[in-house]
Structure 1
């Protein structure tokens, strides 16, 4: 499943300390991983759940 995830992107808000996450999308899923441990575990979410999460963040600003 995670092999479908390509084109990992790190936020432009990330600092130089390396405390960052990266996000990649595939047709039905979104993956999130630690940018310092690219071979580590990946959290995988259905695309709609990820969209709901982002919408919640936008509302909380």
Structure 2
């Protein structure tokens, strides 16, 4: 009987750890998605800036 209580306590503690890890993983995934979105926007802006610079260089060289 004591052994069952001990096992139940271990299982309960393990469940709490798993729940905590799942929560942290979920938050980390959301953060990663936000960072990926920002990176994509930065890439697009960089590409626009690069194209504008090329246009200005062509105008200057004429």
- State whether TM-score is above 0.5: no
User: Which one has the bigger strand percentage?
Assistant: 1
User: Which one has the bigger helix percentage?
Assistant: 2
Q: TM-score per shorter chain, which class?
A: under 0.3
Structure scoring higher RCO (CA < 8 A, sep ≥ 6) equals 1
